[in-house]
Amino acid sequence: MVGLTCAALLTQLGVEAGRAFSIGIVETAPPVPVPSSVDIELRVSALSPASRTVLQFSGIWPTIVGTRISPYRRMCVWQADGAAGTARSISFDAAELGEPDLGHIVENGVIRRAAWERVNALHNVTLYLTSPPAALHEETDALVVILENGQRLRTRLLVGADGVRSWVRQALGVRTREREYGQRAIVAHVESERSHRETAWQRFIPGGPVALLPLDDGRSSVVWSCSNATATELMAADKKIFDQRLTLATDQILGSLAATTALIDFPLKFAHAERYTGRRYALIGDAAHRVHPLAGQGANLGLLDAAALAETLTAQQQSLAADPGDPLILRRYERWRKGDNLLTMGMLDLLHQLFGGAWVPAARLGGLGLGIVNRLAPVKRRLALHAIGRSGDLPAVARGC
């Protein structure tokens, strides 16, 4: 989703700056149309208002709006020892921030299909769909990607937006700092006894957080991060047992829960590329960084990367003849985004260290911390504005300028 958004932004900003970019997209698994009668897909993302603004500017959001998206207007996070709304919890309300919502829960497939529709309508974009990349050569004034079918694609700038196992990153020899969390995230949709009240709920329990994200049809999407051993046990459990354990894990915040879908699970890992850019290349999205889903930030960070790269390449101070593969220009994008990504990744890591393990004193301390921040209105406000992408050094298209 991040790469397609970047292509749409580059086109749009390029037109405004008087630069016409010719863009080629290599995608071996393009999205396919899905009838609206099909159930809400299991992979959903909590998109921040900043991401919505980026998608709006790139012409993708209008297609998303007509689908089954769910706004969330409140967020409540609490620690196992306490209860939601008490001293060991923190809550955010969109109204307190002067925002209509804190974000939207959107199916990943919907975002991809909307972005795909958008780039398909652009005359400067050529799609290469049949053959994956096989080799990469460097020439004096270009990089050449050779596809498995022998086709050669010469480019002055190669953008790696190919996800966590990025072929581009590996072909360029860019190393990553990696760490296993020793956890898996179990994902399913659940029915609840009580309404989700357009609220995203997250409870930190020993082993990892369990989150309930509100869906458009009244159900919630559960993202339960737990140790590998617990995940294996839960994935193999009888449905009735799973429902009971999930209901207990969420402290019955929405009453009894019952899974209405199959369960899927994902290994969780931290990974950060040592470099985002170099001569004739840039990495964006999960190709550059992979984060814990505990605050739903992966796609949001990636969309800001896409916006920052597009803005860097079309900045006013650049001459129209500037080479988009110039490492000095690309370095501006890296400096811009790496700092912000590191800050967010650091905060996520801190939360994971405090609450993610089975070490109860750390979690208790974390719980107290939540309660204290909840009462410190200015600190809480700053945290919330950062999380929804309304503060920091944001690209203009994320600020709506």
Largest CA distance in the chain: 64
* Residues 365-384 within binding reach of ligand FAD (CB under 6 A): none
Per DSSP bridges, beta strands 281-283 and 158-160 are: parallel
| Cβ distance to ligand FAD smaller for residue 88 or 334 | 334
Its sign, for the CA torsion 285, 290, 291, 293, is positive
Residue 109 contacts ligand FAD per CB under 6 A:
no
What is the closest distance, in whole angstroms, from the C-beta atom of residue 197 to ligand FAD in the complex? 19
Q: Are 230 and 245 in contact (CB under 8 A)?
A: no
Residue 71 contacts ligand FAD per CB under 6 A:
no
Residue 214 contacts ligand FAD per CB under 6 A:
no
Who contacts 238 (Cβ-Cβ below 8 Å, separation ≥6)?
none
Residue 102 contacts ligand FAD per CB under 6 A:
no
Instruction: Count the residues of the shown chain that bind ligand FAD, applying the rule CB under 6 A.
Output: 28
Q: How many Cβ atoms from other residues are within 10 Å of residue 327's Cβ?
A: 14
Binding mask 218-237 for ligand FAD (x = CB under 6 A): -----x--------------
Give the DSSP H/E element, type plus range, for residue 292: none
Q: How many Cβ atoms from other residues are within 10 Å of residue 45's Cβ?
A: 24
| Cβ distance to ligand FAD smaller for residue 71 or 163 | 163
Residue 215 contacts ligand FAD per CB under 6 A:
no
* Residues 10-69 within binding reach of ligand FAD (CB under 6 A): 26-29, 45-46
Q: What is the 3-state secondary structure (H, E, C) of 2-29?
A: HHHHHHHHHHHHHHHHCCCCCEEEECCC
Member of 1, 69, 75, 313 binding ligand FAD (CB under 6 A): 1
Binding mask 250-279 for ligand FAD (x = CB under 6 A): ----------------x-------------
| Cβ distance to ligand FAD smaller for residue 48 or 88 | 48
Which of these ranges, 113-121, 227-235, 295-303, 344-352, lies near ligand FAD under the rule CB under 6 A?
295-303
Member of 297, 341, 344, 374 binding ligand FAD (CB under 6 A): 297
SS3 content of the chain, % helix, strand, coil (to 5): 40, 30, 35
Q: Return d(Cα 192, Cα 152) in angstroms, integer.
A: 53
Q: Are 265 and 235 in contact (CB under 8 A)?
A: yes
Binding region for ligand FAD (CB under 6 A): 1-3, 26-29, 45-46, 132-133, 161-163, 167, 185, 187, 223, 266, 285-286, 293, 296-300, 302
